[in-house]
Chains A and B, each alone.
Chain A
Amino acid sequence: MPSKESLLYFFSRTQSRRPAVIRQVLLNKRTVSNLFWGMQYHLLEWLGTAPQLNAGAFDNFITQLKAENFLQEKPAGLLLTEIGLKEKENYEHIHYRPKNPEFFQKLDEKMWGDVLQLLIQVGSELSYCNKRYYVSATSYKAQFYFKRWFQQNKSAGLSKTIKKNLLSFLAGKLQEEADIFAASFNGHGVIAKTAVQLAKSSETYTVEDINTLWRDYSVMFAMYLIKQNDVFYSLVKPLLKNSLLSNSAFTTYELFNKGVSLEKIGQLRKVKLSTVKEHLLEAAIFEHNFTFERIINQNEYKILADNFSEKAPLDWNYQQLKEKNIQLDFFKFRLFQIERSRYDF
């Protein structure tokens, strides 16, 4: 559970933001509305980064932050105050913030955390030729997954390659962070320190910071291994997600890419047309190659551009079209809005 002050990070001095959207983004609650607003706030990289978040506690924290004048109520949400900004900067200065939060959603993070512990432990024991040891507390699923990989990739040089990779991955990192990460592994004659113990050795980090650092470094290491393209590629690759879409949206999107019409997709999948549209809005948010032209034609593009180009997408009002008696599906309006506000994460 993130601490109260850490939540200030998700608010802005210039853009009012609704706390409920932030909460749902952190929890990975994927309604199109949450995703759309998360995109407008440029917070989608934080999607699902705090699956343990307690909604009640989150809301209490927000109430307290308002009472402390760190956040200010505005019509469109909450705005960071001057002292709120100071507090936020102070917090960021001494606490740990994930460097690549977007990695968290790109692989099965929990499983990888377990697999990584096994990789280090098994590699370590292998280097000492020891076969009698208690395997780190990890899920059965991870143990079976790892065992299968290990049987196929076990070699005399394996331990050396793990060591080499760990050292070169950590070489560019801050010393304290690298030390903390390395202290979290079990191996031959080496027992990992717990989060409480590591927090005690650190000047400023809390237990929460240590846990976050460990998750962040683990996923960064996974991405590092993928790039090395050596024996570990086959360990990490199956854990990567094909797409950031939810499974159901992904299926719809695949059909859409095959050129199937929206109505036909609805029939095939036995879902309502409105659901198909929601899936496609989700796809438009996440998929870089989404073909907007398949839904919005030349003429409609022109209408939308003529009416809205001057303002930022967030300030567009669908009502405006109605007032001018222009018939255009809200779905197309929303898609255009998404196209114009997309960003890389």
Chain B
Amino acid sequence: MISDNFLEKKLHTFFGYTSFKEGQKQIIDSLLKRQSTLGILPTGTGKSLCYQLAGKLLNQTVLIVSPLLSLMQDQVEQLHFIGEKKAIAVTSELSYQHKYFVIHHLREYDYVYMAPEMLQKEEVLEQLKTISLGLFVVDEAHCISQWGPDFRPDYLDLKIIRQKLGNPVTLALTATATPEVEQDICRQLFNENESIKIVRRSVDRPNIFLAAKQVDTQQQKDEYLLEILPQLATPILLYFSSKKKADEISQLLNDRTDLKTAAYHAGLSKKDRYSIQQQFMNDQLDAVCATSAFGMGINKKNIRCVLHYHLPADLESYSQEIGRAGRDGQRSLALLLFNPADIDLQRHLSSNSLPDDGEIEYYFNHKDLINSCLQGSDKKNLLEYYAGRFLTPLKLKQIFKKRRFEREKKLQELIAYVETAKCRRNFLCKYFGEEKKADHNVDCCQPAGQPLVLDNFLLHKPGNNYTKSLEDYRKVISHLFNENKR
């Protein structure tokens, strides 16, 4: 390893931190030795810092492939925030002229974010070839695994693109990966003869207490929520699989409890989403009722409880979402509410995003019809992608059948987690192919069938500074603009 002091000093100079988190230093060290690396680091453990600092030290352009516009924008904003102005996301949001300018001046940027489809463009690839790329980063690398829930067909082309760019040193990053997915990433992204350094940090978060509560009806669930939530330490993050339910429960909590609550989902305006994030970050809200859209790019340290109102899709997303609790190291709670009827809801959500046999037939035989029916949907994108690879309808049916099967398997694993009468922590570790961590005790988790004791998580905090009534606009404006300075 490079001398300890050196990296730590640089970390402090560029980012103001005094020490690395587990895994970061190994990754940066490996990259500086020009060794391609797969980093499996849970959310909130500073994945992006790895390539940001490596980029600084290599002093060459870093290209980051990322699947989601919002993710890219969050990253760019965070870089801007720390004073790194030469970062840009080349997305559809840029005007044509601006995009053209950026693509022809790539070397002037330190960090360039792109969605994989942007790399399909010949013009972009040609320009990338002309600069010396310090690092090729594949964010959310599990998207490359066909059997995973977040599979992105475009990711499959990254291997070829990487070859065309002369196999630059690559960092693949993901928050969670089962051993199967880990192998899949290596196979799909890297060449056979390449040696890949793998740095894996445990998904286990000892300070998070794992619990699940089974109820028999929807009504019971809401009653339980109204009873327990006002007693729990805040801030609390609640996850839902539907926007409508997130709105409803947020309203319910605002009406029937003292909690200051807001709903957060893709149905809100950008402006309101920004406000809710900022209010939550600044402890002006006790609870946020969110869909999975919330959390990306949110780095709030003191979340005391992550509560799932609905079942998540699988244990991968579950462990990512509960990983937002207790980043300050303090005791926190991960509680999953479970009504057996939720299984069908989640099954419906999972399979609904995949085309069925009928839709595949229709796609090949009555293209215009299906195009108008599936306009803009994930299904259409998937069908187009596969059809573009000259696959037969039969082959497609097999592919989606297999994926449906995999999703069902993952759902069953999740249900097994909810229903396990053994240690939940060990269950999770085993699922992600990790060694057993520690012996179970009362502070570790609540296995199914055991009473749920929440004494450790009840806390009353003084009322927050959020005001419900409107302030006089003159007062607001005088807060906004400082009289003394200018």
The distance in angstroms between the C-alpha atoms of A160 and B91, with both chains bound, is 36
Q: Which of B268, B274, B482 is the one whose CB lies under 8 Å from A159?
A: B482
A167 within 8 A of B: yes
> How many residues of chain B have a CB within 8 Å of chain A?
42
CB pair A186–B275 under 8 Å, yes or no, is yes
CB pair B482–A127 under 8 Å, yes or no, is yes
Residues A127 and B284 in contact in the complex (CB < 8 Å), given A138-B270, A179-B472, A197-B262: no
- Please name all residues of chain A whose beta carbon is closer than 8 Å to the beta carbon of B269 when the two chains form the complex: 195, 211
- Please name all residues of chain B whose beta carbon is closer than 8 Å to the beta carbon of A176 when the two chains form the complex: 470
Closest beta carbon of chain A to B256's beta carbon, Å = 14
Q: Which of A113, A117, A166, A202 has the most CB of B within 10 A?
A: A166
CB pair A188–B274 under 8 Å, yes or no, is no
CB pair B482–A194 under 8 Å, yes or no, is no
CB pair A191–B480 under 8 Å, yes or no, is no
The distance in angstroms between the C-alpha atoms of A123 and B80, with both chains bound, is 18
CB pair A179–B485 under 8 Å, yes or no, is no
Residues A183 and B470 in contact in the complex (CB < 8 Å), given A135-B77, A160-B486, A196-B262: yes
Q: Which of B227-279 contact A (CB under 8 A)?
A: 254, 262-263, 268-276, 278-279
CB pair B93–A195 under 8 Å, yes or no, is no
Q: Which of A117, A120, A128 is the one whose CB lies under 8 Å from B485?
A: A128
CB pair A156–B473 under 8 Å, yes or no, is no
- Please name all residues of chain A whose beta carbon is closer than 8 Å to the beta carbon of B81 when the two chains form the complex: 132-134
Q: Is the interface of A mostly helix, strand, loop or mixed?
A: helix
B13 within 8 A of A: no
- Please name all residues of chain B whose beta carbon is closer than 8 Å to the beta carbon of A181 when the two chains form the complex: 473
CB pair B486–A182 under 8 Å, yes or no, is no
B373 within 8 A of A: no
Measured CB to CB, the nearest residue on chain A to B470 is A179
Chain B binder among A139-147, A296-304, A324-332: A139-147
Closest beta carbon of chain B to A51's beta carbon, Å = 14
Residues A144 and B480 in contact in the complex (CB < 8 Å), given A182-B473, A191-B275, A195-B272: no
Measured CB to CB, the nearest residue on chain B to A177 is B473
B193 within 8 A of A: no
A178 within 8 A of B: yes
CB pair A191–B282 under 8 Å, yes or no, is yes
B372 within 8 A of A: no
CB pair B481–A160 under 8 Å, yes or no, is yes
CB pair B468–A201 under 8 Å, yes or no, is yes
Q: Which of A137, A158, A180, A202 is the one whose CB lies under 8 Å from B270?
A: A137
The distance in angstroms between the C-alpha atoms of A170 and B154, with both chains bound, is 51
- Please name all residues of chain A whose beta carbon is closer than 8 Å to the beta carbon of B3 when the two chains form the complex: none
- Please name all residues of chain B whose beta carbon is closer than 8 Å to the beta carbon of A157 when the two chains form the complex: 486
A136 within 8 A of B: yes
The distance in angstroms between the C-alpha atoms of A272 and B480, with both chains bound, is 56
The distance in angstroms between the C-alpha atoms of A132 and B80, with both chains bound, is 8
Q: Can you list 19 A-B pairs, Cβ within 8 angstroms, ordered by A?
A: A120-B480, A123-B481, A127-B486, A128-B485, A132-B81, A132-B83, A133-B81, A134-B81, A138-B270, A140-B94, A159-B485, A176-B470, A183-B471, A186-B274, A191-B275, A192-B278, A193-B275, A197-B468, A201-B469
- For the complex with contacts A117-B271, A127-B481, A211-B269, 20 further pairs of A-B residues with Cβ separation under 8 Å are A128-B485, A134-B278, A137-B271, A138-B270, A160-B481, A162-B481, A163-B477, A163-B478, A163-B480, A167-B474, A170-B477, A179-B470, A179-B471, A181-B473, A187-B479, A191-B279, A192-B271, A192-B274, A194-B275, A197-B262
